[in-house]
Structure 1
Amino acid sequence: MGVLNKSIGSYGESIAENYLKEMGYTILERNFKCKIGEIDIIAKDNKYICFVEVKTRYGSLYGSPGESVTNLKQYKINKTAQFYILKKKLHKFSFRFDVIEVILNNEDDNYSIKLIKDAFQVS
C-alpha cells in the first residue's frame, strides 16, 4: 500500500471513529493488530462488540468500498476477532462485523459515510 493510500485510510478511519462516537458507540480499540491480521476499529454498541472494517475511497468508480471486503479479508477479520475475544475475555458479549464506507470528494472536505451493520457472517 502506498503512502497516499495509507494516509487516506487513516483519514477515513478518523472520520469513521468520530461517526461511531456520534452514533453512541464506545471505541475500544483502533488498529488492533496481531499475527493473524488487523481490525480497523473495535467498538461497543449496546450489547454488541463490533469489529469494524473501514473502507475509504475517492468516488465509487470501482464499485462500492464495501465490495472490497473479500472472503479472505472477512476470514482474517474473523480470526483476528476471535483472538481479541480470547485475549480480552469477552465471551459473554454478542459480536458482529460492521463495514463503514467513506467516500471522499476530490473538490473539498466533504465526504459521505455509510455504516453497514452486520455486514457479513462468518461460519
Structure 2
Amino acid sequence: MANTLGAVYEQLAEQYLQQQGLNTVERNFSCKLGELDLVMRQGNQLIFVEVKYRASDAYGGASAAISHRQQQKLLRTAQLYLQRSRHQGPCRFDVLTISGAEPYQYNWMQSAIQAG
C-alpha cells in the first residue's frame, strides 16, 4: 500500500499489532523485488506482515486479495531483507486484514503465508 490511504491502514495495523505485544522493526521495506508493509518482532521471531484493507467482504474480502504470485514476491523480498539484516532467528509471514469502517474489524492471520 504505497498511497496515502494505504499508509493510514498500515499505521492502524502497526498500532493494533503493537497492542498485541509486537515491536516495530521497519515499515515499508522496499527493494527491486517488492515491498514489505511491516516488519515486526515478537521475542526473537521476526514477523513479516502484509496489510490488506477492504471496505466490505464482497468478492472474498481482504484475505482473498493475496494471490499466489504476490505471496511468492513477498517471500523473495523477505529473503533479501533477511540477507541484509543478518537475522538468525525464526521468522514467519502474517496477514492482517482490516475491513469495514470505524470501528474496524481486524483479522490477524499468523503464519498465513508459508515458505516453500
Same-fold status (TM-score > 0.5)? yes
How far 1:10 moved relative to its partner? 1.5
Letter in 2 for 1:96: R
1:111 CA displacement: 0.8
* 1:113 aligned partner, one-letter code: Y
Q: In the TM superposition, what whole-angstrom CA distance separates every residue of 1:55-89 from its partner, at most 9, and x where no partner exists?
A: 01101112120111111111111111011111011
The partner residue of 1:34 within 31, 36, 42 is: 31
- Contact 1:8 1:56 (C-alpha < 8 Å) held by counterparts: no
1:114 is the counterpart of 2:94: no
Partner of 1:101: 97
* Sequence identity (%): 33
1:52 matched residue in structure 2: 49
User: Under a length normalisation based on structure 1, what TM-score does the superposition of the two structures give?
Assistant: 0.88
Please give the alpha-carbon distance, in whole angstroms, between the structure 1 residues aligned to 2:54 and 2:91: 27
Relative to structure 1, is the Cα distance of residues 7 and 104 closer, same or farther in structure 2, using a 3 angstrom cutoff?
farther
Tell me the residue number matched to 2:11. 14
SS in 1 for 2:11: helix
State the TM-score, normalized to the length of structure 2: 0.93
* Runs of 4+ more than 2 Å apart: 5-8
Q: Bigger radius of gyration, 1 or 2?
A: 1
Instruction: State the number of aligned residues.
Output: 116
Gaps of 5+ in 2: none
**Is there any run of 5+ residues in structure 1 with no aligned partner, and where?**
none
> In the aligned structure 2, how far is the partner of 1:80 from the partner of 1:31?
11
- CA RMSD of superposed structures (Å): 1.5
